[in-house]
Structure 1
Amino acid sequence: MNKHEFLKPAALATAVGGMIVGGALSLVLFSNGSGDPAGEVAEKKPLYWVAPMDPNYRRDSPGKSPMGMDLIPVYEDGAGDSDTGPGTIKISPEVVNNLGVRTGTVERQALHSEIVSVGYVKYDEERLIHIHPRVSGWVEKLHVKAAGDPVKKGAPLYSLYSPELVNAQEELLLAMNRNNARLIEAAKSRLLALQIPDSFIDNLSKRKKVQQTVTFYAPQDGVVDNLNIREGFYVKPGTTMLSIGALDEVWVEGEIFERQAGLIKLNDRVSMKLDYLPGKTWEGKVDYIYPTLDSKTRTVRLRLRFANPNAELKPNMFAQITVHADGTDQMLMIPKDALIRTGSQDRVVLALGEGRFKSIEVKTGRQDAGFIEIIGGLNGGESVVTSAQFLLDSESSKTSDFKRMHKEDEIPSSAWVGGEILELMKDHRMVRAQHEPVEVWGWPEMMMDFGVAESVDIDQLTPGTTLHMEITKNDDGSVEITGIHVMSPGGSEVESSEPEGAIDHSQMDHSSMGHGQMNQDGMDHSQMNHGEMEPTEMDHSAHQMQGEG
């Protein structure tokens, strides 16, 4: 025996062994919706057989369901599975542990959303002052040299020579020389209106000497911004000379997506980080939510307010912001890891207990960093799978109707549905019909046999009849028609009442009949055999009627 001949049986044995191991593993995981090997199931005696589409239809022996499907055996360890609906799987505790299945509880809690975005530091515009001259003149002396220079309240900014200011001073001195109180008050009011400081007016009143240049001072602490003048510049009313912005408190403007706007409200807590000071976090609040939406970016602007006592935050800095939107409403929530998103459906794997699991459809709402809101499909206190859910879903989704289990009293025993009669079995008081989907029972459109209740006129259920029918589930699992609304009767509903061999009046020549001479009162029609008459050979004119004169 050469090397190749020796390897062929070995390879064959390996392949067969692999198939056996793989098949055994599949049986251990998902054989008949239970965690028992196939050999153990074969040794057990079924308790009863149920219909695949209707677990209420039970029989003591194998057979067919009313829909023509093979009945499924139910064993002692799986007797409760029929109550959970299609798609329920069952695995042993050992397999649950090996798969690493973990569950989370459906519970009510407030939504805690963390909306992450970016923003830019700005001056507090409520404390940003723009300085304009109120007279024309020339800048003789500029005490601040560059934008960004810090200034204190009362510090000199610039000195201005203006003929208008010189004239205003002279008017005050002239009024004082005349000792006219009204003129003095008017002259001082004019100087104040031209933003001349009180200290300058008091000094002028004491010294009684006109100053050719007037120095103007900073109205608040801050930094110089937008410095648009230099010494020697000619300025006039309306010229923006410079701005002073306060930095002890700053604004941060950020943007959020349109779908997030409803989560945020005024005074929500905001945390902020900057790249130039890693590890440090600033705490602020939402100061204003702008009322308009950017049509290009589809975002909403936010104005955030932060304290800045050490002037570490500087205008135009880039920042990462996180808005902590804490809701107050208690909503039904599940861990975000439990949700399985598909292209057309959101679902979770519901843990039913005792190793049973089923995939069901859910409707989701808002979400935060760790949880997601459930609008429909789950109830509080239920358990959902948060780990290994994709493996369980791949098996359950093959046959699942994706509907949660319902209590028996929540499912109606009867339903109205449209259909068409295909066959009438009058001797058995049954019909075969094609019916539309029955959503309340989870039935698809199909053909099946129905019994007909005694209260229903079975003669109306002829083949081809389209109708709305009320179908009812009986306690023994059978389904019968208990009410009908006929929309269109079948073709065989109206039958001919004429016997065979009757006279064909369409071939009779009525024009040659002398009906005017016939005394029909004396005719004994009961003695006439119309079936043997040949209409073409009858000569009505030759008839001698009884009672002729």
Structure 2
Amino acid sequence: MNFRLIILTTFSLFLVACGGGNNNESGKSASAQESAVEHGVKHQDSKYVCPMHSQIIRDKEGSCPICGMTLVEKKQKAKGSGEKVISYYRHPHKPTITSKVPKKDEMGMDYIAIYAEESDDSSNVVISPRIVQNMGVRTEKATKSPLWRRIQTVGYIGFDETKLRHVHLRTNAWIEKLYVKSAGERVKKGDVLFEAYSPTLVNAQEEFLNAYRSTSKNLRKASEDRLRALGINSITINEIKKSGTVQQNIKIYADQNGIVSNLNIREGAHVKPSTEILSLADLSSVWLLAEVFERQTDWVKVGQSAEIYLSYLPGNVWEGRVEYVYPSLNQKTRTLKVRIRLENPGEQLKPNMFAAVLIYGGAKNNVVSIPREALIRVGGEQRVIVQVKPGEFSAKNVVSGIESGDFIEIKSGIDEGDIVVTSAQFLIDSEASLKASLNRMSDFETTESDNKKKITGSGVIKSLKPAENKINLAHNPIEALGWPAMVMDFAITQDVSLDDFQVEDKIEFTLIEGSDGYSINSITKISTTQNSK
């Protein structure tokens, strides 16, 4: 009986042992199946990255060679989860300043990488293809190329002052007869302009005739030189020699071709040497006097080519070169006068004509430029509408530079290859502005209800700049922003007073993010008691 009981017990234990072994194997198999997806991740190469400088990547733990921060493990993603795509890079302190490529700010800190899933595109405008077509939206790429400094201005035609002649007598006289009656009359070289009577000229002729009858060559020469010094030309002197008589009225001749630009006397008038009787102007060449705006004064140089257009002769273009740049600006108009000399064989160019001028001021190389019509100027801001992808548009603030014809330089805000909208951009901009305003209102409500998290820090005051609304701090690391300890300037909000603080005070502060970066909106002095604790 006992023997049978022993056999039955032994057999039961054997069955239990076999069943338990099967369960154990099944558990192992299930465990292996559950960790199969994770298995590949565990065996991927571990990477450690600096939280401040994303370009610093190591295969093992350590510290960043730039800022000294401890490297953190870079989380690996399972297959199929997708890689993060960097949308753009943002200034570490000024969120409105962005770049498509990694770069450093003015303090040497790296721009922060903003990934596609992190970028705020809530103010982007999405338009269906049909509406885009109906609106007549046209786009063009921003290009990088030389941009000519073209100065578009206005000017007027003036006399070539090197060919302007003023006629004066060299002694007191009376105008007995005028051969030119009005300004504008054309004369040729050698034409008689007027006749004048002068007692001084009569006496000089008598002395000349007496000397001419003598045998003294020196006396003859001296008396003839006196007549020339008084303004009598060779024609009149030869006539006196031939006739042997004194001419009561002396004829004055034109010594160049031209027109009478000014006629200041009439017959019978008494004149002095200081009296300008008339002026002769030769119009075979003229001056164009152009006015250049003060901001463009550095562009214009002597020798640069220029084109001149006149409204009364549409389609005609006169070419010239900058002959002279005047040294001072007009105090009233704040413009710089530039002189261009033009040949005028047919005398088509008349003095005081109004002209449009285009001066080529040289090229500025490797600049990003867009069509001028794509730039939107609103108040003190400049922006463009950028096509993010077909049917989606975003408004970008930009800083513009020089203008050249139909194109304008963009110094910052967009990069080469960005697609900008050149028509219907004002409608899209209005929609983007409205959407951004609604988003800001929504953010404000969320902030009020959720009590937006504060970014706090501590440090020591190094200098106070109340006039600039700034404070210089040696702050400790700010983990919320990933900033290491450093010395830097912070802007302070209007409600923060610095009256109760001084240099070397230890403080705690809170930061808020604005359009110009992070600003301090509250400061608390750390008391001695707190320090001891």
TM-score range, shorter chain: 0.5 to 0.7
CA distance in 2 between counterparts of 1:90 and 1:225 reads 65
Per the alignment, residue 272 of structure 2 pairs with 236
Residue in structure 2 matching 1:288, options 304, 312, 324 = 324
Instruction: Give the SS at the match of 1:116.
Output: strand
Residue in structure 2 matching 1:466, options 495, 500, 508 = 508
Answer yes or no: is the 8 Å Cα contact 1:121–1:313 preserved in 2: yes
Per the alignment, residue 195 of structure 2 pairs with 159
Instruction: Tell me: CA distance 1:130–1:79, structure 2 relative to 1, closer, same or farther (3 Å).
Output: closer
TM-score normalized with structure 2 length: 0.57
Per the alignment, residue 115 of structure 2 pairs with 83
CA distance in 2 between counterparts of 1:138 and 1:95 reads 88
CA distance in 2 between counterparts of 1:185 and 1:127 reads 32
CA distance in 2 between counterparts of 1:78 and 1:142 reads 94
Q: Deviations over 1:16-46 (max 9, x none)?
A: xxxxxxxxxxxxxxxxxxxxxxxxxxxxxxx
Q: Are residues 1:144 and 2:180 paired?
A: yes
CA distance in 2 between counterparts of 1:151 and 1:356 reads 73
Answer yes or no: is the 8 Å Cα contact 1:87–1:399 preserved in 2: no
Per the alignment, residue 320 of structure 1 pairs with 355
1:103-502 to 2 correspondences below 5 Å? 103-117=140-154, 119-277=155-313, 280-317=316-353, 319-330=354-365, 331-352=367-388, 357-390=393-426, 393=429, 394-395=431-432, 398=436, 419=457, 466=508, 488=526, 494=532
Amino acid in the other structure paired with 2:144: E
Specify the structure having the higher radius of gyration (Cα): 1
CA distance in 1 between counterparts of 2:327 and 2:230 reads 38
Per the alignment, residue 60 of structure 2 pairs with none
Instruction: Tell me: CA distance 1:79–1:355, structure 2 relative to 1, closer, same or farther (3 Å).
Output: farther
Percent of aligned pairs sharing the same letter: 36
Answer yes or no: is the 8 Å Cα contact 1:108–1:380 preserved in 2: no
Amino acid in the other structure paired with 1:116: T
CA distance in 2 between counterparts of 1:299 and 1:373 reads 23
1:36-115 to 2 correspondences below 5 Å? 83-84=115-116, 86-88=119-121, 94=129, 98=133, 100-115=137-152
Instruction: Tell me: CA distance 1:229–1:342, structure 2 relative to 1, closer, same or farther (3 Å).
Output: closer
Shift of 1:139: 2.2
Instruction: Tell me: CA distance 1:273–1:364, structure 2 relative to 1, closer, same or farther (3 Å).
Output: closer
Instruction: Tell me: CA distance 1:189–1:75, structure 2 relative to 1, closer, same or farther (3 Å).
Output: farther
Instruction: Give the SS at the match of 1:165.
Output: helix
Shift of 1:335: 1.7
Shift of 1:276: 4.5
TM-score normalized with structure 1 length: 0.55
Amino acid in the other structure paired with 1:246: D
Answer yes or no: is the 8 Å Cα contact 1:123–1:250 preserved in 2: yes
CA distance in 2 between counterparts of 1:364 and 1:257 reads 18
Q: Deviations over 1:437-467 (max 9, x none)?
A: 979xxxx99xxxxxxxxxxxxxxxxxx9838
Instruction: Give the SS at the match of 1:115.
Output: strand
Aligned length: 359
CA distance in 2 between counterparts of 1:255 and 1:290 reads 10
Shift of 1:227: 1.2
Per the alignment, residue 546 of structure 1 pairs with none
Answer yes or no: is the 8 Å Cα contact 1:420–1:435 preserved in 2: no
Answer yes or no: is the 8 Å Cα contact 1:103–1:387 preserved in 2: no
Amino acid in the other structure paired with 1:102: T
CA distance in 1 between counterparts of 2:231 and 2:507 reads 98
Instruction: Tell me: CA distance 1:392–1:141, structure 2 relative to 1, closer, same or farther (3 Å).
Output: closer
Answer yes or no: is the 8 Å Cα contact 2:153–2:290 preserved in 1: no
Instruction: Tell me: CA distance 1:159–1:382, structure 2 relative to 1, closer, same or farther (3 Å).
Output: same
CA distance in 2 between counterparts of 1:291 and 1:418 reads 57
Q: Deviations over 1:301-334 (max 9, x none)?
A: 33333322222333333x1312233422213322
- The answer for unaligned runs of 5 or more in structure 1 is 1-53, 57-73, 402-416, 422-432, 446-463, 470-485, 496-549
Answer yes or no: is the 8 Å Cα contact 2:292–2:337 preserved in 1: yes
Instruction: Tell me: CA distance 1:192–1:324, structure 2 relative to 1, closer, same or farther (3 Å).
Output: same
Per the alignment, residue 98 of structure 2 pairs with none
Instruction: Tell me: CA distance 1:136–1:103, structure 2 relative to 1, closer, same or farther (3 Å).
Output: closer
Instruction: Tell me: CA distance 1:345–1:241, structure 2 relative to 1, closer, same or farther (3 Å).
Output: closer
CA distance in 1 between counterparts of 2:138 and 2:319 reads 40
